[in-house]
């Protein structure tokens, strides 16, 4: 063996960090931009317009009805068959809660009535219909 092979190199080899940092920054930018557009996936609704302003209370149960009759209870999807049972669980947890119904303005009136009937069966006595504030 030669002397060159036995000697240790005075330089320490470091991996190239610049490409790694570039990739991490690109991913960070991508996820930060894409996450700002995701509010409630699958629950985009158009609320009816009203001049009345609602003051948020302490105990509220929010139910969302989409145009295509999908239900979301506190932003979690539920089935129509389980609606009364799910509302009973919420009513036991929050006995003085107000049920706020976020129904798309194109949703069927009968479905909103069905939600209200299920809520009454579950023991919820107070209701509110969510609307968008009228632009002045």
* pLDDT of res. 113: 93
Q: Which residues in the chain show pLDDT less than 70?
A: 1-9, 35-57, 136
Neighbouring residues of 63: CB distance < 8 A, sequence distance ≥ 6? 71, 72, 73, 74, 87, 99, 100, 101, 102, 115
- Range 49-133 has CATH code 3.30.420.270: yes
Give 112-121 pLDDT, tens digit per residue: 999 999 999 9
């Amino acid at each position: 063996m030669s002397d060159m092979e036995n000697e240790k190199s005075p330089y320490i080899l470091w991996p190239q960090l610049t490409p790694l940092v570039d990739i991490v920054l690109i991913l960070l930018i991508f996820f930060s931009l894409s996450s700002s557009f995701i509010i409630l996936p699958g629950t985009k609704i158009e609320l009816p317009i009203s001049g009345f302003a609602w003051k948020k209370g302490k105990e509220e149960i929010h139910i969302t009805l989409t145009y295509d009759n999908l239900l979301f209870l506190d932003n979690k999807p539920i089935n129509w068959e389980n609606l009364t049972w799910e509302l009973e669980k919420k009513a036991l947890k929050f006995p003085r809660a107000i049920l706020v119904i976020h129904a798309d303005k194109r949703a069927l009136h009968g479905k909103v009535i069905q939600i209200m009937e299920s809520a009454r069966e579950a023991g919820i006595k107070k209701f509110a219909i969510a609307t968008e504030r009228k632009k002045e």
